[in-house]
A = this chain, B = another copy of it.
Amino acid sequence: MAAAGHNKYAAGYGQVKHHEWRTAENSASHLLPRLQAMVKETPQLKLLDVGAGPGTISASFAKYMPDGQVTATDISDEILGRAKEHADSVGVKNIQFQKANVYELPFPDSSFDIVHVHQVLCHLDAPPDAIREIVRVTKPRGVVALRESEMKMWCIFPELPPLLQFHEIAAKTLAANGGQDKGGRQLVSWTMKAGVAREDITASFGTWCYSTPDDRLAWAGSMMERLKTGQMRGKAIELGIATEQEIDDMVNAWDEWSKTDDAILGIMNGEVLVDKK
């Protein structure tokens, strides 16, 4: 299927930085037990991580399958370079990197035992087309694991007004870039539209929790970066949904939040496992 006409997703630096916090343990717990069971049966498992970004989740997967092989793709050569650096830095060898468009994956049918896709579909304008392509490259009796955030499902405390405004403009800039702000809840629906039967789909919701001092700092630091220098500042001002002053207030509010002992942020993500027949 043609990629022409689809929207383009290019992450800003701040976004990538927070993405580096992600691991298989904190971001793919819906897949991990299945992955571990499959590795026992098939040590030379082949796993494809589509839209892997900085590759921290891909590298965590690789550790669970020492005799297997991970292929990590991204639309951006620059991001793939960073993913390779990360894998090198943590000593992961059984991983390879390949530039790819999710709508036209450069692999034959039935190439992988597991295909993992995390926070990619919400940036696309035609998720079911991408899922059909993802299922195509999955082997029969293989597993597809999808996970997408729900922009509405942020649960923050304390509710500092600039942070509530931040949440609003994050959803609006995602939508303005052609993305989906309610991806998590639509995963079952998108997957069925891609031709998968309901009984082959297992749905769940997973969460991220930022509550310890370290996790609060990692999150707030990344959001402050996005506000100061990332794509988000420019886009919010271009769209007229925040002023320079309001954006500065948001930076200060994230700083205050990160230093507040009882502060917390929870984010809910939709999850789907597909058992390919």
Contacts and interface: CB of A to CB of B under 8 A. Distances in A.
Interface string A158-193: 000000000000000000000000101110110010
A15 to B, nearest CB: 22
Nearest to A213: B198
B203 A185 contact: no
Nearest to A187: B264
A185 B209 contact: no
A51 interface: no
Contact of A203 (B186, B203, B209): B209
Interface string A199-214: 0000111111101100
A266 interface: yes
A185 B267 CA distance: 11
A208 B78 CA distance: 38
Contact of A185 (B156, B182, B208, B268): B156
A100 B23 CA distance: 43
A148 B127 CA distance: 33
Contacts of A184: 155, 266
B155 A155 contact: no
A188 B264 contact: yes
Contacts of A185: 155-157, 264, 266
Q: Interface range on chain A: under 10, 10 to 19, 20 to 34, or 35 or more? A: 20 to 34
Number of copies: 2
A153 B268 contact: yes
A186 B155 CA distance: 10
Contacts of A85: none
Interface in A111-147: none
A268 B205 contact: yes
A207 B209 contact: no
A211 B272 CA distance: 11
A211 to B, nearest CB: 4
A262 B188 contact: yes
B262 A189 contact: yes
A268 B155 contact: yes
Contacts of A188: 157, 211, 262, 264
A270 interface: yes
A152 interface: yes
A189 B155 CA distance: 14
Contacts of A270: 155, 264, 266
A201 to B, nearest CB: 8
6 contacts: A153-B266, A157-B186, A184-B266, A185-B266, A203-B209, A205-B207
Shortest 3 CB-CB distances between A and B: which pairs?
A205-B207, A205-B266, A189-B262
